[in-house]
Every structure is written in structure tokens, then in C-alpha cells.
Amino acid sequence: MTDATALRVRWQDALTAARGGVPGPDPLPYADNLLERWAEPQRRYHTTAHLTQVLDRVDTLAGHAADPDLVRLAVWFHDAVYRPDRSENEERSAALAERALPEAGVPDTATAEVARLVRLTVTHDPAEGDTNGEVLCDADLAILASSPKEYAAYAAQVREEYGFVPDDAFREGRSAVLRQLLELPRLFRTPHGVEEWEPRARQNLTTELELLTR
């Protein structure tokens, strides 16, 4: 099974579950549209590889979520609109979910939850007890807790996406982001994230910040 085929199956399963057993349009054209978006040429990190990784992390954390299938749909949409030179990507991605999901047969309440989750990725700051939000945000940030080699590749891909930004400006902006993350009392909210990902993520962030500010 190719990566694209596997992703289509994962989309179909999540969408079918979100419909609550009610028949609807063929899920695959929606999957193909989203996969085309995730394969756009301006992307270096926010690619189908990132989509797959975040879905995998949701699978790891699924027992913590109130409705993991809605979280999975939010993963598909959370970077569906992505232009590194624009600041409204999350809002436009949420609006895309609000248009596509009702057409695909998803009830209004479920659509609203998916869109809410997508908008939450602006801050990655779910409210206490928002288990769907905690799972989505932890899954999206789990790259921060990868191995040093994987983290270095991630950081390089982020730099490539912002290739239009001069080096000095990028270092300043990226350093500010890293400091904001390190100042948070917790990067992760799920028990698994706190225990398994928090220490390594902080180490990776600290290392990158030191390299940028030498």
C-alpha cells in the first residue's frame, strides 16, 4: 500500500466515523483534494509526511480524546491552507473545513468541533479539560520531542519554508518563537506528552536556540 493510499484509507475511516453511520458522498475526492494541498511546492515541513506523523501521534494519544475521529479530521485540515508568508492560514484552513465537511455528510456539531480544533492550532493552548484540543496540540508539537537528527531536519525544513526571509531576520524571529515555547509552564498537556515528550522537547528547543544565538 502506497503512502497516499494509506492516507486515503485513514481519511475514509475518520470521515465515516464522523458521519455517525449515515451514508454520504464518496470520501475519496475530498481526500484527494486535501492531499493535493498538502503536496504544494512551497511546503518543506508542512507536507504529507507531517500529516502522517501527526495522525500517528493522535493514534498514540487517542485514548485521551473525547472524540479521536474528529481530532483526526482536524489534523487533515489544520495546515490544509499553508502559505508561509501569510498569517491567516489557520483561519482559512478552518473555513475550508466548515465548507467541505457538511458537503461530505458530517453533522453540523461535528463540523463545528473540527473547525474549533483547527483554530486552536494558532495558540496550541487548549483549555483545561479540552481533551480533544490537548490531543491535537500535543500531536502537532510532538516533532519537538524527536531525536536530535530528526529535530535538526525539522529545523532545516522550517528554514527552507521561510527561505524568502533574510538570515538575520529569521534568526531573530525564530529565536523569539523558541523563547516563547521555553517560557511555557508545559509544552504538552496529555499525560503521555508530559511524561514522554516534554524533557526531550525542551532539550531540543534549548539546543536550537543556542545555535541561533551564537
Tell me the pLDDT tens digit for each residue of 117-146.
999 999 999 999 999 999 999 999 999 999
Q: What is the pLDDT of residue 163?
A: 95
CA distance 211 to 23: 53
Question: Which residue in 38, 11, 5 sits closest to 101, CA to CA?
Answer: 11
List, in order, residues 6 or more apart from 37 with CB less than 8 Å away. 80, 81, 82
Q: Do 155 and 208 touch, CB atoms closer than 8 A?
A: yes
CA distance 151 to 163: 18
Q: How far apart are the first and last CA of the chain?
A: 45
Per the structure block, which three cell numbers stand in for 31?
481526500
Per the structure block, which three cell numbers stand in for 148?
536530535
Q: What is the pLDDT of residue 1?
A: 66
Segments of the chain scoring below 70 in pLDDT: 1
Say what the pTM is. 0.96
